[in-house]
Structure 1
Amino acid sequence: MFILTNQKSYLDSLEEVIWQICNEFTWALPAHIQWEELNEDEKLNLYSLYNQQENNNFINKSKKLIDLFAAETAFSLAEIAYLLEKDLSPLILNRIKNEISSRVLLPFSNLKNKYWWENAKMNWAAVCAASVGSAAIYLLNDTKELVFILKRVIKSLTVYLSSFAEDGISREGLAYWNYGFSFYTYFSDLLKKRSGNRINLMNYPEIKNIAHFQQKMFLNDDQIISFSDTPLTFKFRAGFTSKLKEFYPDLNLPELKYKADFHSDDCYRWPHIIRDLFWTRTELFNRQKFNNLDYQEEYSYAEAAKWLFYKNKFDNHKLVIAAKAGNNNEPHNHNDLGSFIYHFAGESFLVDPGSGEYNKDYFGENRYNYIVTSSFGHSTPIIGGEGQLAGKSFCSSGEKISTISNQIIFKFNLEKAYQLDSLRLYQRKFLINRINGHLKISDKFDFNEKLNVVERFVSFFKPEKVADDLVKIQGKKNSILIKYDPILFDFELDSVNFTTHTGKTRTLQLIDFRINAAISSTEFVFEIFPFLEN
């Protein structure tokens, strides 16, 4: 299919790599293997057991475990075998088909095997099912066998679609939207072709809103709204985005210079890379001016997800405000109800810290001991020394969005987000001034007893007090001011280091306004506004 200089050399190397992949003990990630089923003696003798795979239940189960990476590997190898069917040796082609069949397709065809991700309202349902389905489309000629698998695949993909709010919001954040929805789109394209255009999974009515999610999440350049386990910056997949643009011409695309390159994905996922190569249509991006300065006011409220997006331009600089309510049982949940992002002139001054370093503990019982996942690491108040708790019952209520004169008002109650019997009422209200970009935050409390309150804001920039009632957060080029009542509050500053998803250490500034006397009921108001240096 491909004509390359030194083609045989490349093919020889590729066959070596494929052979070694087919030799792997398991295609699943070690973190997903049930190591507790293996006793200590078996762990020590694991390699001596290698030749007894058929007689060893643990090794057998591990080899046939279908997780994200096992499913993706099957998809990738099946696609490579299809594209290079005339170039790869029959031995390699047969090895690919046999390994995919024994590790993925046959286990998935067995209805006795239950996979938790089939009913998971998150990206796993899409990536695993779409990968299994894609491998089946490439390898199975028997229509009955294929249909049997595809019915199970589509059922899982239907569960995945239900993970989105009705407004298309992915509560997992943009990175996981990209992960899950791209694989959904890849499979949809293959299924449409295999079915002779009779089946098109992109025709579901909810798909359009889901496809528009990406453009809502960009702040400026490659900076994004980092709710949930989401990075602070994001390189989008140009091939996948081009395909979405073909379906929905009204999509507003990011600038092409912020596309993912070959090294953007540290897992080097084949389905992304090959589709970036063949699907990217540069002319679609050249007509877009995603970050230009004639940015018009735009705001939207995602009623199902309870997220607010506001974008505008002030003094020739973009302003973005994003705020969220909802519940603390979302996929990749952070206890962050009432938190927000204030982004101006290309810098996020008040932030959501994004995702922490992934490890077993991060997804275990100690998840909310991490600063990035707890409410202590978000711009939310600490009430009576307590933060928010995790669970669906810890939620917002009474959400209301309105426009009065030149203000957008987003308000909701959050007393249910805290496990405090004495907290009768906590209402947070965001008031956005559409003329000058000022943001007022009003917090109203009512307690059964007197309690102390700390109003916390978080930033990656170190703030300083510049007047009795003003705290300045200085960015690299410009700054913002936080105005508060110095009679009620004492200003305190602390910081905490944490490890990001990529393993780097970052320092989060904890900007605290501590009330100087316990209260039983009151309303606090803070005003946040830009301060241009030039």
Structure 2
Amino acid sequence: MPKKPLAFRFVSRLLLPAALIFPIALRAKGDPAQGIPRPDPARIAEITAWLSPENPAGAPPVPVFYTPPYADRTWWNAVAARLSAGELLAAANAVEGTPPPPLPRELFDDYRVTGNRAPYEKPFSERTARLGQLVYAEGFAFNGRRLPAIERELAAILEERSWAVPAHVPAGATDAETYTRVDLAAAARAWSLATTDYLLGDKLSPATRARIRAEVRARVLDPVAGRIRAADSRGFSWMAGRNNWTAICNAGVMGSALLLSDSPAERALFIAAFERFTQPYIESFGPDGFCEEGIGYWSYGYGHYIMGSELIRMTTGRRIDLMAGEQQKRIATFDVRWKVAGSVYPAFGDASVRARTPAMLHDFATLRYGGSGGLVSPGASAGVHRHPLGAQLYVMPFRLSLPYPESGSPKAQAIAAAATRPPLRDWFPDGGALVVRSASAGTGLSAAFKGGHNGQSHNHNDLGSFIVVNGSQPVLGDPGADTYVKDTFGPKRYSSGLMNSFGHPVPRVAGKLQRTGRDARAKTVRNEFSDTRDIWEIDITSAYDVPGLDRLTRTFIFDRTGPGRLEILDRVAFRKDSAPRTFDTALILRPGQKYERNTDDGLRVYAGNSASDAALDASWKATSSRGGRLLVQEEPVYGIVPDQPPRGLRMGLGFENPVEEATIHLIITPAGGK
């Protein structure tokens, strides 16, 4: 006889007073106390009153969500009529007759041995993707055909050892601690199961609905509620943090409670916690609304903040609107301001070179705040929102809830009329970054430059990094994120050439790379902006722990006249009482990227591996005391995973002799000046 799932073994505990349960969740091995602010009891009471309308005796509250449940066939039939769901239905048909991918304990434990996340996370993610395909397909057809398969997929997820992924479970955690670990994946799984329960309602068996509630409560709601009441986030540092985890986990926990809890007071507790705990996350953007984690984590983290905030606004009858105000508008439109050209975003830090922003977030900002961003996708599509840590089943209902205007309506025409191309530049003085764009959309040079500091969330040691785009194709710049394995977020992180400064187009001083930490900071020396030319000079001396280094600056000069021209000047000086030192800078190429040395002091670089791709000409010249000529040295850039092929090529440009003072001057133009 199979062993009963943990939630059923804990059921007697679930009936105990909360004060007796929560301390168990707080005592995790090796987790020190971590004080967090306790939500104001008066605020919780106020929200509770808003959530306590008069209901018939004993009737549970009716959840508020982005869409009606599937039982509202008028609403859902209208959705089915306007959306193309053929691909979704085909995917549901394909998984309907196949079992969920297995997740044996050995696969969970494999991460501790190998440090490789993919073997467990791929099937783990596939389970919720399959569930989503079946749930959405049932919503469109509503004929009961897929309910047995849905019950099967739910049962598999409800039996899982943990809803957290192994990479987020501390080494040495007990089975109970592993079971109650709340991370990005667990929060999303809980909210996805709650969404499934809400959409299907009594189409699911009573036993399955009861089990969803028991598991979500035991694994997620009670462990978090206990920490809220104790004002101690022990082991859950995300609760009141400053990065994407704070928004994602708080949204998932609160979203689950709002759909599953019958207690107005408990639902109010989680609303108040979201409102209070996400404040540091919003403050992390700074007055200019810059997201130091990059566009991918902006989409992931701030996207969840938007969804959580909108659910609060709806649930409280618009009494709480966290998205109001100019600062939220600046953050919500970050995708427009951070885009370089075409669909290209800077791949600084742990951002992917392929990162794109979901249309729903862009369109939400346009519909909410107006502005010049326009609408990317005026009409939601039917599909599962996939993620490496599990599909997010609550996302499609949010997409469907966006108030798109009818095509050709006065509102649609007004939005289209207000849409304009991005400005010549977007300057982020607080975040320490600058995006400069061509005067002619779709042609010529555009670029992005990075300052900031080397202690940012998802940090790489990359002060002074840049990317250069020709037309709409990225050609030169930053290689982006490394593979996520155990060492990526451990003490060996900066042994990776992609995460230390070796794999970035930045200087190397006396053979030393940039150091890590907030004290390694780029300071703006000057900035001059005009319609034809932008100049930004930064001092990056603090990034290098080199005795005798007096000053190191990098100056970006972006010229919009003609086809465009970018100059990068690195000026270094060592103190007179110190010995001369070596000095070099670099260009970084992606694996397989085509290039050719077309002059003694220059090369042509193509966007891809073909001469038909967009290309840039890069040339260099130098002046120095004692340094002699510049030598070109090609070196492979290796990532965090041993024995993998190089993740890029570092084309170093360095003086043949040590220098006392020196300047390296890079000049980048479209190939052939076109």
Q: State the TM-score bracket (shorter-chain normalisation).
A: 0.7 to 0.9
2:597 corresponds to which letter in structure 1?
Answer: K
* Structure 1 position 491, deviation (Å): 2.2
Deviates more, 1:167-176 or 1:427-436: 427-436
* CA 1:498–1:339: 2 relative to 1, 3 Å: same
2:669 corresponds to which letter in structure 1?
Answer: F
SS at match of 2:172: helix
The 5 Å alignment of 1:90-489 reads 90-110=206-226, 111-112=229-230, 114=233, 115-253=236-374, 255-256=376-377, 262=384, 265-266=387-388, 267-279=390-402, 281=404, 298-313=424-439, 317-403=443-529, 406-436=532-562, 437-448=564-575, 449-460=579-590, 461-475=593-607, 476-485=612-621, 488-489=629-630
**In the alignment, is the contact (CA less than 8 A) between 2:618 and 2:668 conserved in 1?**
yes
Query: Which runs of 5 or more structure 1 residues have no equivalent in the other structure?
Result: 38-57
Residue deviations 1:286-318 (CA, integer Å, cap 9, x gap) = 99899x9x9575112101001001111459615
**In the alignment, is the contact (CA less than 8 A) between 2:446 and 2:470 conserved in 1?**
yes
**In the alignment, is the contact (CA less than 8 A) between 2:638 and 2:644 conserved in 1?**
no
1:203 corresponds to which letter in structure 2?
Answer: A
Matched, 1:8 2:148: no
Residue deviations 1:397-451 (CA, integer Å, cap 9, x gap) = 2443213694211011111001112111001111111213211111111113201
* Structure 1 position 147, deviation (Å): 1.9
CA distance, structure 1, for counterparts of residue 586 and residue 665 of structure 2: 13
**In the alignment, is the contact (CA less than 8 A) between 1:320 and 1:342 conserved in 2?**
yes
* Structure 1 position 23, deviation (Å): 1.6
Q: 2:166 aligns with which of 18, 21, 30?
A: 30
* Structure 1 position 213, deviation (Å): 0.7
Residue deviations 1:150-169 (CA, integer Å, cap 9, x gap) = 22222221121122122111
2:565 corresponds to which letter in structure 1?
Answer: H
* CA 1:255–1:5: 2 relative to 1, 3 Å: closer
**In the alignment, is the contact (CA less than 8 A) between 1:297 and 1:312 conserved in 2?**
no
1:446 corresponds to which letter in structure 2?
Answer: A
**In the alignment, is the contact (CA less than 8 A) between 2:293 and 2:456 conserved in 1?**
yes
**In the alignment, is the contact (CA less than 8 A) between 2:341 and 2:437 conserved in 1?**
no
The residue that corresponds to 1:493 in the other structure is 634
* CA 1:278–1:418: 2 relative to 1, 3 Å: same
Identity of matched residues, %: 24
* CA 1:404–1:130: 2 relative to 1, 3 Å: closer
**In the alignment, is the contact (CA less than 8 A) between 1:306 and 1:399 conserved in 2?**
no
CA distance, structure 2, for counterparts of residue 163 and residue 340 of structure 1: 22
* Structure 1 position 495, deviation (Å): 3.0
Matched, 1:519 2:636: no
SS at match of 1:7: coil
* Structure 1 position 240, deviation (Å): 3.3
**In the alignment, is the contact (CA less than 8 A) between 2:513 and 2:544 conserved in 1?**
yes
SS at match of 1:348: strand
Deviates more, 1:427-436 or 1:146-155: 146-155
The residue that corresponds to 2:21 in the other structure is none
Deviates more, 1:334-343 or 1:82-91: 82-91
Q: 1:19 aligns with which of 151, 155, 176?
A: 155
CA distance, structure 2, for counterparts of residue 304 and residue 231 of structure 1: 23
CA distance, structure 2, for counterparts of residue 88 and residue 264 of structure 1: 24
CA distance, structure 2, for counterparts of residue 201 and residue 464 of structure 1: 53
CA distance, structure 1, for counterparts of residue 465 and residue 484 of structure 2: 22
CA distance, structure 1, for counterparts of residue 672 and residue 421 of structure 2: 18
SS at match of 1:93: helix
Deviates more, 1:211-220 or 1:309-318: 309-318
CA distance, structure 2, for counterparts of residue 232 and residue 315 of structure 1: 21
SS at match of 2:278: helix
Matched, 1:79 2:205: no
Tell me the matched-pair count.
Answer: 510
CA distance, structure 2, for counterparts of residue 514 and residue 374 of structure 1: 19
**In the alignment, is the contact (CA less than 8 A) between 2:444 and 2:670 conserved in 1?**
no
CA distance, structure 1, for counterparts of residue 239 and residue 598 of structure 2: 55
SS at match of 1:274: helix
* Structure 1 position 493, deviation (Å): 2.5
Residue deviations 1:259-291 (CA, integer Å, cap 9, x gap) = 99647644322122333345384959999899x
CA distance, structure 2, for counterparts of residue 367 and residue 71 of structure 1: 26
**In the alignment, is the contact (CA less than 8 A) between 2:247 and 2:304 conserved in 1?**
yes
Query: Could you tell me the TM-score, scaled by structure 2's length?
Result: 0.70
2:486 corresponds to which letter in structure 1?
Answer: K
In our comparison, the structure showing a higher alpha carbon Rg is 2
Q: 1:64 aligns with which of 163, 175, 180?
A: 180
SS at match of 1:485: strand
* CA 1:531–1:295: 2 relative to 1, 3 Å: farther
CA distance, structure 1, for counterparts of residue 220 and residue 649 of structure 2: 47
1:368 corresponds to which letter in structure 2?
Answer: Y
* Structure 1 position 78, deviation (Å): 1.4
**In the alignment, is the contact (CA less than 8 A) between 2:424 and 2:531 conserved in 1?**
no
Query: Could you tell me the TM-score, scaled by structure 1's length?
Result: 0.88
* Structure 1 position 141, deviation (Å): 3.0
**In the alignment, is the contact (CA less than 8 A) between 1:71 and 1:128 conserved in 2?**
yes
1:458 corresponds to which letter in structure 2?
Answer: I
Residue deviations 1:187-243 (CA, integer Å, cap 9, x gap) = 111111111111111114321110111112334443321112111123432333332
SS at match of 1:15: helix
The 5 Å alignment of 1:504-515 reads 507-515=647-655
Superposition RMSD in Å: 3.0
**In the alignment, is the contact (CA less than 8 A) between 1:311 and 1:321 conserved in 2?**
yes
1:321 corresponds to which letter in structure 2?
Answer: A
SS at match of 2:621: coil
More RCO (CA 8 Å, sep 6+): 2
* CA 1:295–1:78: 2 relative to 1, 3 Å: closer
**In the alignment, is the contact (CA less than 8 A) between 2:384 and 2:392 conserved in 1?**
no
1:124 corresponds to which letter in structure 2?
Answer: W
CA distance, structure 2, for counterparts of residue 405 and residue 27 of structure 1: 52
* Structure 1 position 393, deviation (Å): 1.0
Deviates more, 1:236-245 or 1:430-439: 236-245
* Structure 1 position 253, deviation (Å): 4.9
* Structure 1 position 19, deviation (Å): 2.1
Residue deviations 1:22-45 (CA, integer Å, cap 9, x gap) = 2211111111122324xxxxxxxx
CA distance, structure 2, for counterparts of residue 286 and residue 352 of structure 1: 39
**In the alignment, is the contact (CA less than 8 A) between 1:125 and 1:156 conserved in 2?**
yes
2:362 corresponds to which letter in structure 1?
Answer: T
